């Protein structure tokens, strides 16, 4: 059994370590991870690992210094290969948040026909949205052939759903346009679809790199799409919300200065350009936030109930992913060794925006 780990302060550096085999305690299950997606979103987990607590979900192997080494969480599928839990049989298949590893031990609690929470001690204080797992044997219509799309799109479009929902709740902060930075990212595309499909929504304006401009424009989900060096073509006289998926603070500050009093709100979400992060954002505190999707999920689950939340988010995902599925191709990465080979390219943004990496474990 093995696990992929990175240096917390220099996460382009990675290593594959051996997991020590231990007997299962009562209430635990051992799962074999079948496959998982690996995208720029996973690198955001590393960038914000200390700030938000992503390093806490899956500890590194016992031979590693936890101050130096960490495990980047991934979204994927796993099958139960050993069980010491009365309600979870061997052969059960789960979808959810896993370490990039061949196996992991889980402690299912609040087990229902279609879902459960991982109640492992080190995860109890972490956001419930990341501790929730789908039991696919209890999911109507589950079809394994859609696993790749679900791994790549669902967690990202779930975040997109939460952003749209929050913006609607605040009446778009009075804005007539939403400018999305790193517009070709999968979360941004899911966001753009959600805005674009609203009859009374604001204009969705995207900014992306020149290399991604044409392929992203073909999707038709933005009312206007420009490259980063064309930002002067955006109408700065309109009340504007900026949704920053890039972490490019220099660009954010340039836009904020140009907008002057027309910047209605700034939402910082991702860090696809993590190497340009770290500067100070020159926007007053009352007009900005770092959007934490799991917190929004918890609020809505409490208000709507889990079933209604699942119904709404699944409908959003089905619609948004269908609008961009023809744009996406999938590349299979063989094992953790294959992940180690391509990890640096993912960190440096060298993977085409319309390519989804799927790590398959034998």
pLDDT surpassing 80 at residue 306 = no
pLDDT at position 136 is 92
Mean predicted confidence (pLDDT) in 186-191? 92
Confidence at residue 273, expressed as pLDDT on a 0 to 100 scale: 45
* pLDDT of 316 over the 70 cut: yes
- Residue 77 pairs in a beta bridge with 35, 95
With beta carbons less than 8 A apart as the criterion, state whether 320 and 157 touch: yes
pTM of the model: 0.84
Query: What does pLDDT average to over the chain?
Result: 89
What's the pLDDT band for 72 if we cut at 50, 70, 90? very high
> For the chain, what percent of residues have pLDDT higher than 70?
97
Place of tokens 């939403």: 178
Instruction: Find which of 17-26, 286-295, 332-341, 352-361 is predicted with most confidence, using mean pLDDT.
Output: 332-341
pLDDT digits (tens, 9 = 90+) for 225-277: 999 988 889 999 999 999 998 878 888 999 999 998 899 999 988 654 444 44
- Average pLDDT rounded to a whole number, residues 2-14: 93
As a whole number of angstroms, the distance between CA 121 and CA 119 comes to: 6
Give tens-digit pLDDT for 89-102: 999 999 999 999 99
Q: What is the pLDDT of residue 274?
A: 46
pLDDT value at residue 279: 63
Lowest mean per-residue pLDDT among 62-66, 127-131, 181-185, 218-222: 127-131
**Confidence label for 200 from pLDDT (cuts 50, 70 and 90):** confident
Residue 156 pLDDT > 80:
yes
Q: How confident is the model at residue 311 (pLDDT cuts 50, 70, 90)?
A: confident
State the pLDDT at residue 132: 85
Look at 15-19, 124-128, 141-145, 311-315 and tell me which has the smallest mean pLDDT.
124-128
| pLDDT of res. 359 | 97
Residue 88 confidence (pLDDT) above 90: yes
Per residue in 18-39, pLDDT (tens digit) is: 998 889 999 999 999 999 999 8
261: CB partners within 8 A, 6+ apart: none
Q: pLDDT higher for 74 or 141? A: 74
Question: What Å distances lie between residue 245 and 41, 50, 117, 189, 344, CA to CA?
Answer: 10, 19, 29, 11, 20
Give the chain as a 3 state SS string: CEEEEEECCCCCCEEEEECCCCCCCCCCEEEEEEEEEECHHHHHHHHCHHHHCHHHCCCCCCCCCCCCEECCCEEEEEEEEEECCCCCCCCCEEEEEECCECEEEECEECCCCCEEEECCHHHCCCCHHHHEEEEHHHCCCCCHHHHHHHHHHHHHHHHHHHHHHHHHHCHHHHCCEEEEECCCCHHHHHHHHHHHCCCCCCEEEEEECHHHHHHHHCCCCCCEEEEHHHHHHCCCCCCEEEEECCCCHHHHHHHHHHHHHHEEEEEECCCCCHHHCCCCCCCCHHHEEECCHHHHHHHHHHHHCHHHHHHHHHHHHHHHHHHHHHHCEEEEEEHHHHHHHHHHHHHCCCCCCCEEEEEECC
Residues 96, 114: Cα–Cα separation, whole Å: 12
Higher pLDDT, 146 or 174: 174
Round to whole Å and give the CA distance between 292 and 294.
6
Alpha-carbon gap, residue 193 to 219, rounded angstroms: 10
Q: Which of 89-98, 130-139, 180-189, 201-210 has the lowest average pLDDT?
A: 130-139
- Count CB neighbours of 128 within 10 A: 17
Query: Phi then psi for 149, rounded to 5 degrees?
Result: -60, -40
In the chain, what is the straight-line distance between the N-terminal and C-terminal CA atoms, in Å? 11
Cα distance between residue 182 and residue 244, in whole Å: 7
Angle between the N-to-C axes of helices 147-169 and 186-196, in degrees from 0 to 180, rounded to the nearest 10: 50
9's CB contacts (< 8 A; 6+ apart) are 68
What pLDDT, in 10s, does the model give residues 343-360? 999 988 888 888 899 999
């Amino acid at each position: 059994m093995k696990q992929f780990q990175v240096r917390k302060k220099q996460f382009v550096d990675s290593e594959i370590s051996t997991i020590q085999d231990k007997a299962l305690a009562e209430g635990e299950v051992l799962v074999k991870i079948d496959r998982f997606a690996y995208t720029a979103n996973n690198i955001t987990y590393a960038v914000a690992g200390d700030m938000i607590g992503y390093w806490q979900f899956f500890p590194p192997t016992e031979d590693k210094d936890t101050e130096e080494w960490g495990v980047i969480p991934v979204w994927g599928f796993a099958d139960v290969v050993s069980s010491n839990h009365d309600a979870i049989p061997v052969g059960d298949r789960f979808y959810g948040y896993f370490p990039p590893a061949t196996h992991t031990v889980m402690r299912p609690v609040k087990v229902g026909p279609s879902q459960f929470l991982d109640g492992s001690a080190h995860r109890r204080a972490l956001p419930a949205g990341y501790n929730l797992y789908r039991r696919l044997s209890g999911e109507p219509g589950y079809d394994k052939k859609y696993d790749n799309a679900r791994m790549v799109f669902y967690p990202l479009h779930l975040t997109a759903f939460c952003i749209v929902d929050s913006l609607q709740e605040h009446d778009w902060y009075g804005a007539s346009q939403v400018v999305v930075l790193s517009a070709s990212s999968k979360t941004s595309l899911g966001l753009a679809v959600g805005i674009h499909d609203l009859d009374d929504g604001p204009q969705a304006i995207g900014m992306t790199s020149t290399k991604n401009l044409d392929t992203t424009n073909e999707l038709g989900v933005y009312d206007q799409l420009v490259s980063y060096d064309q930002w002067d073509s955006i109408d700065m006289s309109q009340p504007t919300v900026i949704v920053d998926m890039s972490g490019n603070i220099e660009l954010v500050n340039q836009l904020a200065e140009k907008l002057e009093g027309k910047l209605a709100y700034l939402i910082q979400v991702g860090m696809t350009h993590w190497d340009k992060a770290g500067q100070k954002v020159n926007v007053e505190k009352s007009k900005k936030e770092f959007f934490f999707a799991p917190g929004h999920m918890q609020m809505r689950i409490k208000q709507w109930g889990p079933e209604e939340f699942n119904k709404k988010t699944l409908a959003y995902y089905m619609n948004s992913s269908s609008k961009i599925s023809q744009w996406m191709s999938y590349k299979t990465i063989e094992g953790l060794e294959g992940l180690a080979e391509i990890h640096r390219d993912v960190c440096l943004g060298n993977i085409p925006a319309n390519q989804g990496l799927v790590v398959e474990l034998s």
